[in-house]
Amino acid sequence: MFGNIAQRLSGKNVLITGASTGIGYHTAKYFAEAAKGDIKLVLSARRKEKLEALQKELVSEYPSIKVHIESLDVSKVETIEPFLSGLPEEFATVDVLINNAGKALGLDPIGNVDTKDVEEMFQTNVLGLIQLTQLVVQQMKKRNKGDIVQLGSVAGRNPYPGGGIYCATKAALRSFTHVLREELINTKIRVIEVQPGNVATEEFSLTRFKGDAEKAKKVYEGTQPLYGTDIAELILFAVTRPENTVIAETLIFATNQASAYHIYRGSLDN
């Protein structure tokens, strides 16, 4: 029953944004492993040197795999169309789009949020995602098939003080994704939204606190959070379901979390 996963991924072209670290990095590795190297990966992120290291790692482990890497900052919306149209022919047709790139900046209350932070969060989490999704959907409609995975957040359901702008971007993503799913209901294109809770990734909190490692570390103190591998495994599961099913929306927490603002800090052992 479970041997079909490699077959379902065989020869597919998977585009992952924000693939250099965290969830995107682990998703690339999980897809490569599950497909036993019989897969094409388009990996994008702002820092190409990290993508080069990941490409080298994947090719070393799976000699038959095909990996294309490209520097892309999705907050620069005008660069997305040239990025997609400039992909080599072998990688030009996207079977699976994983919109993973995203960021949170600061925890300032509304009224004190830097305008540049507002713009950067909306450009990255909303405008860039929408632009890339629209372009890829055009491809998928012509073939009447494909999977679109959006990395949402519990923050899109449970807005919290200090996260007004970030939560708003994730709520916008959720609404956009809901409408996209409804508009594609007469096709074989599947729209999947994954909404993680507290995930300890290498750079998310460090970016939020603008390089303050001490503040970033305290976010996870006393908790047993999710990790990038947990989300990557869920994405892989969703994409490899039979074609007649779709994991439309899934909310995933660590065991000690119940909402965006209910996290138990302490041991779960008796």
- Short-list 44, 59, 52, 49, CA closest to 94: 44
Of 89, 84, 79, 55, the residue nearest 69 (C-alpha): 55
Q: Which of 166, 217, 218, 261 is catalytic?
A: 166
In order, the DSSP letters of 218-255 are: HTTTT---EEHHHHHHHHHHHHTS-TT----EEEE--T
Listed in sequence order, the residues at least 6 apart from 176 whose beta carbon sits closer than 8 Å to its beta carbon are 126, 129, 130, 133
Please pick, among 12, 145, 170, 227, the residue that the annotation labels catalytic: 170
166 is catalytic: yes
Q: Is 48 a catalytic residue?
A: no
Distance CA 189, CA 181 (A): 9
The C-alpha atoms of residue 155 and residue 166 are separated, in whole angstroms, by 8
Cβ partners under 8 Å of residue 266, min gap 6: 222
Please give the Cα distance from 213 to 155 (Å, whole number): 22
- Catalytically active residues are 166, 170
